[in-house]
C-alpha cells in the first residue's frame, strides 16, 4: 500500500502494523497540519508563570508529591483520575503496571489544582472533608513490626457547626439505646439460668 497523505488514520496505523509504510515523525513540521503548528509554542519560565497566575484560567490538576513535613491546604474536590505507574525489574526485566488513586486539592483563591497520590490511610481520612477546606501534612514513615513501611498523614479541616465527622468503619450512632438491650439480655440470661 502506498504512503498516501490523504489516507485515514486507521489505514496508516494498519500500514505501520503490517510494515507497509515508513513511520512518519510526528515532530516533523510537514507531518503536522499548519493550524496545529500555530497552537504549539515553546514555554519559558516567565510565560509559564504568566499562564499559571492568570485569574481567568481554570486548571486541570498537576501531580505533586509531598515530602515529609510538607503540607498542602485547599478545597478537597474528591478523587481525581487514576495514575498508572510502570516498574521494570532490573534483574528480570519484567514490567509491571500499578494503578493508584489520586485526590484533588484546589487553591481556594484561584484556578490551580494539585493532585496527590492516595494511600490507604488517606482513603480513610479524607472522605469526610470532601467539598470543604482541608490540610494534609505528610508525616514520617513508620516501620511496622511485620516489615512494612507506613507513611503517617495528619489530616484536618475546620469544624462545622452541627456536623460531627466520623472515620469509624462501623460507626456507633448512639450508645444509650444499647444499654437497655444489654440489661434485657442479662435479664433473659438469668431467666434461662433459673429454668
pLDDT in tens, 44-67: 999 988 888 888 899 999 999 999
Residue 27 has pLDDT above 80, yes or no: no
Helix ranges restricted to H, the chain: 9-18, 34-37, 45-52, 120-125, 178-194
Q: Cβ(59)–Cβ(112) under 8 Å?
A: yes
Q: Cβ(150)–Cβ(142) under 8 Å?
A: yes
- What's the CA dihedral at 36, 42, 45, 46 to 10 degrees? -70
Q: Which of 26-35, 138-147, 166-175, 178-187 has the highest mean pLDDT?
A: 138-147
* Residue 104: band (very low, low, confident or very high) from pLDDT cuts 50, 70, 90: very high
Task: Say how far apart CA 164 and CA 174 lie, in whole Å.
Answer: 13
What is the per-residue pLDDT for 122?
94
Compute the mean pLDDT over every residue in the chain, rounded to the nearest whole number. Answer: 80
Amino acid at each position: 500500500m502506498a504512503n498516501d497523505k490523504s489516507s485515514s488514520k486507521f489505514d496508516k496505523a494498519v500500514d505501520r502494523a503490517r510494515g507497509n509504510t515508513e513511520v512518519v515523525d510526528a515532530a516533523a513540521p510537514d507531518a503536522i497540519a499548519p493550524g496545529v503548528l500555530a497552537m504549539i509554542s515553546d514555554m519559558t519560565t516567565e510565560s509559564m508563570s504568566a499562564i499559571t497566575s492568570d485569574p481567568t484560567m481554570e486548571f486541570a490538576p498537576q501531580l505533586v508529591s509531598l515530602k515529609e513535613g510538607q503540607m498542602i491546604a485547599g478545597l478537597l474536590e474528591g478523587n481525581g483520575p487514576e495514575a498508572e505507574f510502570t516498574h521494570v525489574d532490573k534483574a528480570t526485566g519484567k514490567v509491571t503496571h500499578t494503578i493508584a488513586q489520586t485526590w484533588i486539592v484546589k487553591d481556594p483563591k484561584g484556578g490551580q489544582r494539585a493532585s496527590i497520590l492516595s494511600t490507604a490511610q488517606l482513603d480513610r481520612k479524607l472522605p469526610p472533608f470532601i467539598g470543604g477546606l482541608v490540610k494534609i501534612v505528610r508525616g514520617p514513615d513508620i516501620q511496622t513490626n511485620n516489615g512494612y513501611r507506613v507513611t503517617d498523614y495528619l489530616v484536618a479541616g475546620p469544624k462545622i457547626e452541627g456536623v460531627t465527622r466520623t472515620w469509624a468503619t462501623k460507626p456507633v450512632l448512639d450508645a444509650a439505646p444499647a444499654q437497655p438491650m444489654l440489661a434485657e439480655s442479662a435479664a433473659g440470661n438469668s431467666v434461662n439460668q433459673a429454668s
